[in-house]
Structure 1
Amino acid sequence: MTTHAPTTAYVLTAIGDDRPGLVAALAAAVDEHGGSWVDSQLALLAGKFAGIVQVELPDERAQDFLDALPSLADEVGLEVEAAAAGSPVGATAHSTLRLHLLGQDRTGMVREISSALRSQGATIDALRSWTREAPEGGGMLFEAEAEVRLPAEADENGVREALETIAAELMVDLELDPS
Protein backbone atom coordinates (compact mmCIF):
# COMPACT_ATOMS: atom_id res chain seq x y z
CA MET A 1 0.00 0.00 0.00
CA THR A 2 1.43 3.36 -1.05
CA THR A 3 1.09 6.29 1.33
CA HIS A 4 1.11 9.81 0.06
CA ALA A 5 2.97 12.62 1.78
CA PRO A 6 0.76 15.40 3.10
CA THR A 7 0.34 18.29 0.70
CA THR A 8 -0.62 21.92 0.91
CA ALA A 9 -2.58 23.75 -1.76
CA TYR A 10 -1.57 27.26 -2.84
CA VAL A 11 -3.13 29.82 -5.13
CA LEU A 12 -0.52 31.68 -7.17
CA THR A 13 -1.07 35.00 -8.88
CA ALA A 14 1.40 35.82 -11.63
CA ILE A 15 1.92 38.87 -13.82
CA GLY A 16 4.62 39.92 -16.24
CA ASP A 17 5.29 41.51 -19.59
CA ASP A 18 4.22 39.04 -22.26
CA ARG A 19 6.99 36.91 -23.70
CA PRO A 20 7.58 33.27 -24.58
CA GLY A 21 8.39 30.94 -21.69
CA LEU A 22 6.50 32.48 -18.77
CA VAL A 23 4.18 29.51 -18.27
CA ALA A 24 7.04 27.07 -18.84
CA ALA A 25 9.14 28.77 -16.15
CA LEU A 26 6.33 28.66 -13.60
CA ALA A 27 5.47 25.05 -14.47
CA ALA A 28 9.14 24.09 -14.10
CA ALA A 29 9.30 25.67 -10.63
CA VAL A 30 6.21 23.71 -9.56
CA ASP A 31 7.58 20.47 -10.99
CA GLU A 32 11.10 20.94 -9.55
CA HIS A 33 9.58 21.09 -6.07
CA GLY A 34 7.43 17.97 -6.52
CA GLY A 35 4.24 19.94 -6.98
CA SER A 36 1.16 19.41 -9.10
CA TRP A 37 -0.49 22.04 -11.31
CA VAL A 38 -4.16 21.58 -10.33
CA ASP A 39 -6.12 24.38 -12.01
CA SER A 40 -5.40 27.65 -13.78
CA GLN A 41 -6.77 30.61 -15.63
CA LEU A 42 -4.27 32.48 -17.78
CA ALA A 43 -4.77 35.49 -20.01
CA LEU A 44 -3.05 38.19 -22.01
CA LEU A 45 -4.41 41.63 -21.14
CA ALA A 46 -3.01 44.88 -22.53
CA GLY A 47 0.39 43.35 -23.22
CA LYS A 48 0.64 41.76 -19.79
CA PHE A 49 0.49 38.05 -19.07
CA ALA A 50 -1.69 37.43 -16.02
CA GLY A 51 -2.55 34.17 -14.37
CA ILE A 52 -4.08 32.48 -11.39
CA VAL A 53 -2.85 28.95 -10.70
CA GLN A 54 -3.77 26.42 -8.04
CA VAL A 55 -0.91 24.08 -7.13
CA GLU A 56 -0.39 21.36 -4.54
CA LEU A 57 3.03 20.80 -3.02
CA PRO A 58 4.39 18.22 -0.60
CA ASP A 59 4.51 19.88 2.83
CA GLU A 60 8.24 19.18 3.21
CA ARG A 61 9.04 21.03 -0.07
CA ALA A 62 6.51 23.86 0.09
CA GLN A 63 8.75 26.41 1.83
CA ASP A 64 11.57 25.84 -0.66
CA PHE A 65 9.07 26.43 -3.47
CA LEU A 66 7.81 29.65 -1.87
CA ASP A 67 11.40 30.83 -1.38
CA ALA A 68 12.15 30.14 -5.08
CA LEU A 69 9.24 32.18 -6.48
CA PRO A 70 10.93 35.62 -6.31
CA SER A 71 13.73 34.36 -8.57
CA LEU A 72 11.19 34.07 -11.42
CA ALA A 73 11.03 37.88 -11.53
CA ASP A 74 14.79 38.09 -12.15
CA GLU A 75 14.95 35.09 -14.49
CA VAL A 76 11.93 35.67 -16.76
CA GLY A 77 10.21 38.85 -15.52
CA LEU A 78 7.31 37.05 -13.85
CA GLU A 79 6.12 38.40 -10.49
CA VAL A 80 4.47 35.57 -8.53
CA GLU A 81 2.68 35.73 -5.20
CA ALA A 82 1.43 32.70 -3.29
CA ALA A 83 -1.35 32.30 -0.73
CA ALA A 84 -2.38 29.13 1.05
CA ALA A 85 -5.65 27.92 -0.47
CA GLY A 86 -8.72 28.43 1.66
CA SER A 87 -11.63 26.16 2.30
CA PRO A 88 -14.34 26.14 -0.37
CA VAL A 89 -17.09 28.59 0.46
CA GLY A 90 -20.70 27.56 0.16
CA ALA A 91 -20.41 23.81 0.54
CA THR A 92 -24.19 23.70 0.92
CA ALA A 93 -26.53 23.06 -2.00
CA HIS A 94 -26.72 25.90 -4.49
CA SER A 95 -27.70 26.64 -8.05
CA THR A 96 -25.82 28.51 -10.74
CA LEU A 97 -26.77 30.91 -13.49
CA ARG A 98 -24.84 31.81 -16.59
CA LEU A 99 -25.09 35.53 -17.32
CA HIS A 100 -24.42 37.28 -20.64
CA LEU A 101 -24.60 41.07 -20.94
CA LEU A 102 -24.18 43.27 -24.02
CA GLY A 103 -24.66 47.01 -24.36
CA GLN A 104 -23.12 50.41 -24.98
CA ASP A 105 -19.98 50.77 -22.91
CA ARG A 106 -20.19 53.16 -20.01
CA THR A 107 -18.57 53.50 -16.63
CA GLY A 108 -20.01 51.62 -13.66
CA MET A 109 -21.51 48.62 -15.46
CA VAL A 110 -19.56 45.96 -13.57
CA ARG A 111 -20.20 47.79 -10.30
CA GLU A 112 -23.95 47.93 -10.91
CA ILE A 113 -24.28 44.26 -11.88
CA SER A 114 -22.02 43.00 -9.08
CA SER A 115 -23.88 45.14 -6.52
CA ALA A 116 -27.22 43.70 -7.67
CA LEU A 117 -25.81 40.18 -7.33
CA ARG A 118 -24.37 40.94 -3.89
CA SER A 119 -27.75 42.27 -2.73
CA GLN A 120 -29.21 38.84 -3.51
CA GLY A 121 -26.41 36.93 -1.76
CA ALA A 122 -25.01 35.65 -5.07
CA THR A 123 -21.33 35.01 -5.73
CA ILE A 124 -19.49 35.54 -9.00
CA ASP A 125 -17.45 32.37 -9.62
CA ALA A 126 -16.13 33.47 -13.01
CA LEU A 127 -16.27 36.72 -14.97
CA ARG A 128 -14.90 37.62 -18.38
CA SER A 129 -15.53 41.02 -19.92
CA TRP A 130 -14.30 42.91 -22.96
CA THR A 131 -15.07 45.88 -25.19
CA ARG A 132 -15.38 45.99 -28.96
CA GLU A 133 -16.38 48.37 -31.70
CA ALA A 134 -20.11 48.52 -32.40
CA PRO A 135 -21.18 47.91 -36.00
CA GLU A 136 -21.51 50.92 -38.29
CA GLY A 137 -19.55 53.29 -36.05
CA GLY A 138 -21.95 52.99 -33.13
CA GLY A 139 -19.26 53.50 -30.48
CA MET A 140 -17.95 50.89 -28.10
CA LEU A 141 -19.86 47.89 -26.82
CA PHE A 142 -19.28 46.26 -23.46
CA GLU A 143 -19.79 42.52 -23.25
CA ALA A 144 -19.54 40.25 -20.22
CA GLU A 145 -20.08 36.61 -19.38
CA ALA A 146 -20.29 35.34 -15.81
CA GLU A 147 -21.02 32.23 -13.85
CA VAL A 148 -23.01 33.16 -10.78
CA ARG A 149 -23.53 30.91 -7.76
CA LEU A 150 -26.71 31.37 -5.77
CA PRO A 151 -26.93 30.35 -2.11
CA ALA A 152 -29.32 27.49 -1.31
CA GLU A 153 -31.82 29.92 0.22
CA ALA A 154 -31.77 32.35 -2.71
CA ASP A 155 -34.87 33.01 -4.74
CA GLU A 156 -33.77 32.66 -8.38
CA ASN A 157 -36.67 34.85 -9.50
CA GLY A 158 -35.52 37.58 -7.10
CA VAL A 159 -32.03 37.43 -8.58
CA ARG A 160 -33.46 37.62 -12.10
CA GLU A 161 -35.66 40.57 -11.16
CA ALA A 162 -32.75 42.47 -9.56
CA LEU A 163 -30.56 41.91 -12.62
CA GLU A 164 -33.31 42.76 -15.12
CA THR A 165 -33.98 46.03 -13.26
CA ILE A 166 -30.31 46.99 -13.54
CA ALA A 167 -30.21 45.89 -17.20
CA ALA A 168 -33.16 48.15 -17.98
CA GLU A 169 -31.48 51.09 -16.20
CA LEU A 170 -28.22 50.46 -18.06
CA MET A 171 -30.08 49.82 -21.35
CA VAL A 172 -28.24 46.55 -22.01
CA ASP A 173 -29.30 43.13 -23.21
CA LEU A 174 -29.12 40.55 -20.46
CA GLU A 175 -29.47 36.78 -20.78
CA LEU A 176 -29.67 34.48 -17.75
CA ASP A 177 -29.61 30.73 -18.14
CA PRO A 178 -29.31 27.94 -15.58
CA SER A 179 -25.96 26.22 -15.93
Structure 2
Amino acid sequence: MDHLVISALGADRPGIVDRLSQAVLENGCNVADSRMTVLGGEFAIILLISGNWNTISKVEQQLPKLGQELELTITQKRTDHQGNSSPSLSYMVEVISIDQPGIVHHLANFFSARSINIQELNTSSYAAAHTGTPMFSLHMTVNVPVETHIATLRDQFLEFCEGQNLDAVIEPLKI
Protein backbone atom coordinates (compact mmCIF):
# COMPACT_ATOMS: atom_id res chain seq x y z
CA MET A 1 0.00 0.00 0.00
CA ASP A 2 1.36 3.41 -1.01
CA HIS A 3 0.40 6.74 0.56
CA LEU A 4 0.12 10.29 -0.69
CA VAL A 5 -0.38 13.47 1.33
CA ILE A 6 -2.39 16.13 -0.50
CA SER A 7 -2.84 19.67 0.76
CA ALA A 8 -5.13 22.19 -0.88
CA LEU A 9 -5.93 25.82 -0.18
CA GLY A 10 -8.41 28.16 -1.85
CA ALA A 11 -11.47 30.31 -1.48
CA ASP A 12 -14.18 28.55 0.52
CA ARG A 13 -17.30 27.41 -1.30
CA PRO A 14 -19.60 24.38 -1.31
CA GLY A 15 -18.52 21.24 -3.18
CA ILE A 16 -14.74 21.22 -2.68
CA VAL A 17 -14.67 18.19 -0.38
CA ASP A 18 -17.16 16.40 -2.64
CA ARG A 19 -15.01 16.91 -5.73
CA LEU A 20 -11.69 16.02 -4.06
CA SER A 21 -13.06 12.87 -2.45
CA GLN A 22 -14.71 11.91 -5.75
CA ALA A 23 -11.33 12.13 -7.54
CA VAL A 24 -9.72 9.94 -4.87
CA LEU A 25 -12.50 7.32 -5.10
CA GLU A 26 -12.72 7.32 -8.92
CA ASN A 27 -9.00 6.57 -9.12
CA GLY A 28 -9.27 3.57 -6.80
CA CYS A 29 -7.79 5.17 -3.67
CA ASN A 30 -9.07 5.69 -0.17
CA VAL A 31 -8.97 8.66 2.22
CA ALA A 32 -7.07 7.21 5.21
CA ASP A 33 -6.93 10.42 7.27
CA SER A 34 -7.90 14.05 6.76
CA ARG A 35 -8.16 17.49 8.31
CA MET A 36 -10.34 20.24 6.88
CA THR A 37 -11.11 23.76 8.06
CA VAL A 38 -12.11 27.23 6.98
CA LEU A 39 -9.74 30.01 8.08
CA GLY A 40 -11.03 33.47 7.29
CA GLY A 41 -12.53 33.02 3.84
CA GLU A 42 -10.07 30.29 2.84
CA PHE A 43 -10.68 26.56 2.80
CA ALA A 44 -7.77 24.32 3.78
CA ILE A 45 -7.55 20.53 3.60
CA ILE A 46 -4.91 17.90 4.18
CA LEU A 47 -5.62 14.36 3.04
CA LEU A 48 -3.67 11.15 3.50
CA ILE A 49 -4.77 8.79 0.76
CA SER A 50 -3.85 5.16 0.30
CA GLY A 51 -3.81 2.91 -2.74
CA ASN A 52 -1.47 0.80 -4.81
CA TRP A 53 1.32 2.50 -6.75
CA ASN A 54 -0.63 2.89 -10.01
CA THR A 55 -3.82 4.27 -8.41
CA ILE A 56 -1.76 6.79 -6.43
CA SER A 57 -0.03 7.77 -9.69
CA LYS A 58 -3.41 8.36 -11.33
CA VAL A 59 -4.40 10.74 -8.52
CA GLU A 60 -1.03 12.54 -8.77
CA GLN A 61 -1.53 13.07 -12.51
CA GLN A 62 -5.07 14.40 -12.01
CA LEU A 63 -4.27 16.90 -9.23
CA PRO A 64 -2.94 19.81 -11.37
CA LYS A 65 -6.09 19.81 -13.51
CA LEU A 66 -8.30 19.44 -10.42
CA GLY A 67 -6.48 22.36 -8.79
CA GLN A 68 -7.25 24.58 -11.78
CA GLU A 69 -10.86 23.42 -11.94
CA LEU A 70 -11.46 24.12 -8.23
CA GLU A 71 -9.18 27.19 -8.10
CA LEU A 72 -7.08 25.56 -5.38
CA THR A 73 -3.36 25.59 -4.72
CA ILE A 74 -2.58 21.89 -4.38
CA THR A 75 0.64 20.27 -3.21
CA GLN A 76 1.35 16.58 -2.91
CA LYS A 77 4.00 14.34 -1.41
CA ARG A 78 4.41 10.59 -1.22
CA THR A 79 4.86 9.31 2.31
CA ASP A 80 5.00 6.22 4.46
CA HIS A 81 2.03 5.60 6.70
CA GLN A 82 3.80 4.59 9.86
CA GLY A 83 3.21 5.17 13.52
CA ASN A 84 5.54 6.78 15.99
CA SER A 85 9.02 5.24 15.82
CA SER A 86 9.63 5.60 19.56
CA PRO A 87 7.19 4.48 22.25
CA SER A 88 5.11 7.33 23.61
CA LEU A 89 1.94 8.15 25.50
CA SER A 90 -0.64 10.54 24.07
CA TYR A 91 -1.68 13.49 26.21
CA MET A 92 -4.28 16.17 25.64
CA VAL A 93 -3.36 19.79 26.36
CA GLU A 94 -5.96 22.54 26.64
CA VAL A 95 -5.13 26.20 27.16
CA ILE A 96 -7.39 29.24 27.53
CA SER A 97 -6.06 32.75 27.95
CA ILE A 98 -6.54 36.37 27.13
CA ASP A 99 -5.22 36.56 23.57
CA GLN A 100 -1.62 37.71 23.37
CA PRO A 101 1.16 37.31 20.78
CA GLY A 102 3.46 34.31 21.12
CA ILE A 103 1.29 31.79 22.96
CA VAL A 104 1.64 29.07 20.30
CA HIS A 105 5.40 29.63 20.01
CA HIS A 106 5.97 29.52 23.78
CA LEU A 107 3.96 26.30 24.14
CA ALA A 108 5.65 24.68 21.14
CA ASN A 109 9.04 25.63 22.58
CA PHE A 110 8.13 24.16 25.99
CA PHE A 111 7.33 20.76 24.44
CA SER A 112 10.12 20.83 21.86
CA ALA A 113 12.75 21.46 24.55
CA ARG A 114 11.60 18.21 26.20
CA SER A 115 11.60 16.16 22.94
CA ILE A 116 7.81 15.91 23.04
CA ASN A 117 6.20 15.76 19.61
CA ILE A 118 3.07 17.77 18.86
CA GLN A 119 0.72 15.41 17.02
CA GLU A 120 -2.17 17.81 16.51
CA LEU A 121 -2.78 21.48 17.25
CA ASN A 122 -5.95 23.56 16.94
CA THR A 123 -6.38 27.16 18.04
CA SER A 124 -9.14 29.72 17.92
CA SER A 125 -9.81 33.25 19.04
CA TYR A 126 -13.12 34.59 20.30
CA ALA A 127 -14.60 37.45 22.28
CA ALA A 128 -15.33 36.77 25.95
CA ALA A 129 -18.97 36.85 26.95
CA HIS A 130 -20.13 40.10 28.56
CA THR A 131 -16.76 41.93 28.29
CA GLY A 132 -15.77 41.28 24.66
CA THR A 133 -12.15 40.71 25.75
CA PRO A 134 -10.16 38.92 22.99
CA MET A 135 -9.65 35.33 24.17
CA PHE A 136 -7.46 32.48 22.90
CA SER A 137 -8.17 28.75 23.03
CA LEU A 138 -5.76 25.92 22.17
CA HIS A 139 -6.28 22.18 21.99
CA MET A 140 -3.22 20.03 21.39
CA THR A 141 -2.34 16.35 21.36
CA VAL A 142 1.26 15.58 22.28
CA ASN A 143 3.21 12.32 22.28
CA VAL A 144 5.20 12.08 25.50
CA PRO A 145 8.16 9.64 25.43
CA VAL A 146 7.54 6.74 27.84
CA GLU A 147 10.72 7.51 29.77
CA THR A 148 9.39 10.98 30.72
CA HIS A 149 8.37 11.31 34.37
CA ILE A 150 4.77 12.47 33.95
CA ALA A 151 4.33 14.07 37.38
CA THR A 152 7.46 16.19 36.82
CA LEU A 153 6.30 17.14 33.33
CA ARG A 154 2.87 18.13 34.64
CA ASP A 155 4.41 20.26 37.41
CA GLN A 156 6.79 21.97 34.95
CA PHE A 157 3.97 22.58 32.48
CA LEU A 158 1.60 24.08 35.04
CA GLU A 159 4.37 26.28 36.46
CA PHE A 160 5.26 27.41 32.92
CA CYS A 161 1.60 28.22 32.18
CA GLU A 162 1.20 30.12 35.43
CA GLY A 163 4.22 32.25 34.48
CA GLN A 164 2.63 32.96 31.08
CA ASN A 165 -0.80 33.69 32.65
CA LEU A 166 -2.38 30.72 30.84
CA ASP A 167 -5.18 28.57 32.24
CA ALA A 168 -4.13 25.03 31.22
CA VAL A 169 -4.73 21.32 31.62
CA ILE A 170 -2.59 18.33 30.57
CA GLU A 171 -4.04 14.86 30.95
CA PRO A 172 -3.90 11.44 29.29
CA LEU A 173 -5.77 11.25 26.01
CA LYS A 174 -8.86 9.12 26.38
CA ILE A 175 -9.46 7.16 23.23
The answer to whether TM tops 0.5 is yes
RMSD: 1.6
Residue of structure 1 equivalent to 2:14: 20
SS at match of 1:90: coil
Conservation of the 8 A alpha-carbon contact between 2:94 and 2:170: yes
Counterpart position of 1:85:
79
Give the unaligned 5+ runs of structure 2.
Answer: none
Please give the per-residue CA displacement for 1:117-146, whole angstroms capped at 9, x wherever unaligned: 111111111111101112332521111111
Structure 2 counterpart SS, 1:135: coil
The letter for the 2-side match of 1:73 is G
Contact 2:3 2:81 in 1 (8 A): no
Match of 2:30 in 1: 36
Deviations 1:13-44 (A, max 9, x none): 11111111101111121112111111111111
Aligned-partner SS, 1:19: coil
Give the letter aligned to residue 111 of structure 1: H
Question: Identity of paired residues, percent?
Answer: 23
* Equivalent of residue 115 in structure 1, options 84, 90, 109: 109
Task: Tell me, yes or no, if the aligned pair for 2:3 and 2:56 is still in contact at 8 Å.
Answer: no
* Preserved contact between residue 116 and residue 162 of structure 1 (Cα < 8 Å): no
Q: Normalised by the size of structure 2, how large is the TM-score?
A: 0.91
Partner of residue 171 from structure 1, selected from 156, 165, 171: 165
1:59 aligns with 2:53: yes
Give the conservation status (yes or no) of the 8 Å contact 1:124–1:146.
yes
Maintained 8 Å contact 2:12/2:41: yes
Structure 1: unaligned runs, 5 residues or longer = 1-6
Amino acid at match of 1:162: Q
- What residue number does 1:48 align with? 42
Q: Deviations over 1:88-131 (max 9, x none)?
A: 35334321211110111100000001100111111111111101
What is the SS of the residue equivalent to 1:60? helix
**TM-score, length-scaled by structure 1:** 0.89
Q: Which moved more, 1:84-93 or 1:145-154?
A: 84-93
